[in-house]
Amino acid sequence: MLFTTSKSLDQILESIEGEKRTFLLACNGCAESCGTGGQKALDALKADLEKAGKEIAGTCVVDFLCNKVLVASRLSQVTDSIRQADSMVVLTCGIGVQAVSKIIDKPVHPADNTVSLGGLQGLWPSDERCAACGDCVLDYTGGICPVTSCAKGLLNGPCGGPRDRMCEVDKDAECGWLKIYDRLKALGRLENLKKLYKARDHGKMLVSKEVRNTKAYDVEK
C-alpha cells in the first residue's frame, strides 16, 4: 500500500487561494486505511473548508482512485457538480492524484502527502509513479509529478538539455517538464511556474515515529 498523511488545512487553503468553489474527492482504498481518505476524512475536510468560507460544489468517494476506469465511471455520475467547481481537492496518494488529473480537465490539489514505509509498496501496472517524497506538489505541476517524470527530479523547470522534446538523460522519454508546461497551459495555470521551490527536504521521506507505530508499517516489515 501507499501510506499517506494529511496536509495541514493552511496548506490546502493556500493551494486553492482565489478559487471560490471546489469539489472534494476521496479514495476509499489505501488512504482510507490511513485515516486520510474515505468518507470520514472527506466530511471533516468539507466542514473545515466551509468554515473557512469555501463553497463545496460536491463530494464523491471512489474505492480506488488509482483505477482510472473506475474513477471515470464514478465521476461521470457527478459531471454537473464537477463542472461547477473551479478545482478538485483530492484525498489520496500521489498515484491517485495523477490518475484523477488525467481524467478531469480541472486543477487537482492533493490533500495528502505520500510518505515512505521504508520498503516495497507494491507494483503499479500503469505509468503513474510516486516517489513518496512526503511533500506532494502535484497541484503546482498540473498533476504531473516532477520527481518521477523528470530524470533529474527537478522542481523548478527543465534543465535546458531537452532536444526535440526528449530528455537528455533518457533519450527515449519525453521531457517531464515540457509535459508539465503543456498541462499547465491547457489549465490556464502557467503562472504556477513563477513560484520558486526550495531544494527538496529529503528528511520528509524518512519514516516518522508516528508512522512506525502504525499497523500499516508493521505489515510492510
pLDDT averaged per 10 residues in sequence order, the chain, 221 residues: 90 94 96 94 98 96 93 95 96 95 94 80 73 90 93 90 91 93 94 84 71 60 48
The pLDDT value given to residue 2: 84
Scan for cell 534543465, then name that residue: 159
Quickly count: other Cβ atoms within 10 Å of residue 44's Cβ. Answer: 14
pTM, two decimal places: 0.86
Architecture of domain 1-120+130-135+205-213: 3-Layer(aba) Sandwich (3.40)
Report d(CA 144, CA 173) in Å as an integer: 14
* Residue 186 Cα distances to 93, 99, 183, angstroms: 24, 17, 5
Among residues 214, 205, 4, 208, the alpha carbon closest in space to that of 96 is found at 4
Residue spans per domain, the chain: 1-120+130-135+205-213, 141-196
Task: Report the number of secondary-structure helices (H) and strands (E) in the chain.
Answer: 10, 6
Report d(CA 110, CA 88) in Å as an integer: 9
Cell digits of residue 116? 515512505
Report d(CA 165, CA 197) in Å as an integer: 23
CA geometry: angle 125, 129, 131, nearest 5 deg: 135
The pLDDT value given to residue 207: 66
The pLDDT value given to residue 119: 61
